[in-house]
Amino acid sequence: MNKPVVSVSACQRQIEGHGCHMVVNKYVEALRRSAGVEVVLLPALDEGLDPAILARLDGLCLTGSYSNVEPRHFGQAPWPGDCRYDPARDGSALSLVRAARRLQLPLLGICRGLQEMNVAYGGSLRQPLQELPGLLDHREPAADHMDEHYRPAHGIRLNPDGLLARLGGEPEFEVNSLHQQGIDRLGEGLIAEALAPDGLIEAISDPAHPFALGVQWHPEWHSDEHPLYRAIFTAFGAACARYRQRILA
């Protein structure tokens, strides 16, 4: 196999009484189409995965999810309102991010994946955003059609010295928004790549890592229709290819 192999984080779901490991297809499609990689699914296990599994891979993609990171991982209590958690996903994803950081394995985090990156780097999250003064409601709109859920919701402003700007991102543009948690304290070694109008961090990167990028929005949704979204996946795929060549050399 010549293509890089990327692992995608799965979530645990109950379907008709059966525990299932699930990944939404849009992530797999965007990775195969725009990043040019092959994809394998990593299960979500309460006890976590052996980080040694990353030695067999060329990249790690942390997907979005309907669940939130359990607040105990960043020293807070759960909020009492309606919230879905996935302890098994936390158990697998957080340890894998730390291992990917050590190995310099290419890393792409999307929505929940950005939050997992920040927590794994020692940062914390705000929760729930819609109940905090001075912040926008970052949840998806109530709608019958998926395109409405993923329509542009607010603007962001890019860090002119960041990775996203180097990938060709406009200084300001609109993004979709489908989340209840957001970055509070930035993880050690990370920089803010983009900010929302309310000051919430919308993208992060690790400048000491060959490719470690997290975005709060969903670039996988119609990724081919937005030049920067496509560029994010293309750059991730290129980083995975370079990593593979280095390991095989």
Domain containing residue 185: CATH number: 3.40.50.880
Average confidence (pLDDT) over 198-204: 96
CB atoms within 10 A of CB 144: 6
Distance (Å, rounded) from C-alpha 233 to C-alpha 220?
8
Among the residues of 104-226, which ranges form H helices? 112-120, 146-149, 163-166
What is the largest distance, in Å, between two alpha-carbon atoms of the chain?
A: 53
Q: If pLDDT is split at 50, 70 and 90, which confidence band does 8 have? A: very high
From the list 116, 138, 218, 240, the catalytic residue is 218
Give the structural domain span for 74. 5-248
- Active site (annotated) includes residue 16: no
- Averaged pLDDT of the chain: 91
How much of the chain, in percent, has pLDDT values that exceed 70? 94
Q: For this structure, is 222 an active site residue? A: no
Average of per-residue pLDDT across 143-168: 87
Q: What is the dihedral of CA 116, 118, 137, 141, to 10 degrees?
A: -30
Sorting pLDDT into bands at 50, 70 and 90, what band is 177?
A: confident
* Of 11, 111, 179, 193, catalytic: 111
At residue 17, does pLDDT exceed 90?
Answer: no
User: What band does 132 get if pLDDT is binned at 50, 70 and 90?
Assistant: low
Find out whether 193 and 158 touch, Cβ atoms under 8 Å: yes
pLDDT of 120: 98
Using CA atoms, how far apart are residues 124 and 121, in angstroms rounded to an integer?
9
Q: Which residue has the higher pLDDT, 237 or 79?
A: 237
218 is a catalytic site residue = yes
Q: What are phi and psi of 52, to 5 degrees?
A: -60, -20
pLDDT band of residue 23 (cuts 50, 70, 90) is very high
Q: Which of 140, 179, 220, 240 is catalytic?
A: 220
Q: With a cut of 90, say whether residue 112 has pLDDT above it.
A: yes
Q: C-alpha angle with apex 139: 134 to 142, nearest 5 degrees? A: 130
Reported as a pLDDT band with limits 50, 70 and 90, residue 165 is very high
Reply yes or no on whether the pLDDT at 144 is more than 70.
no
Q: Across residues 37-48, what is the average pLDDT?
A: 89
Domains of the chain: total = 1
180 or 184, higher pLDDT: 184
Report the C-alpha gap between 62 and 108 in whole angstroms: 6
Q: How confident is the model at residue 162 (pLDDT cuts 50, 70, 90)?
A: very high
Identify the residue with better confidence: 134 or 119. Answer: 119
Give the pLDDT mean for 56-61. Answer: 97
- 217-233 pLDDT per residue, tens: 999 998 999 999 999 99
- Beta-strand runs (E) in the chain: 5-9, 11-15, 18-22, 38-42, 59-62, 107-110, 125-126, 154-158, 172-175, 182-183, 191-195, 201-205, 212-215
| Confidence check: pLDDT of 97 > 90 | yes
Rounded mean pLDDT, 109-125 = 97
Instruction: Name the residue type at position 27.
Output: Y
pLDDT of residue 1: 66
**CA separation (Å) from 166 to 96, 170, 173, 193, 243?**
27, 10, 15, 11, 20
The tokens 């730390």 sit on which residue?
A: 98
Q: What is residue 138's predicted lDDT score, i.e. its pLDDT?
A: 66
Per-residue pLDDT at 79: 79
pLDDT at 25 over 90: yes
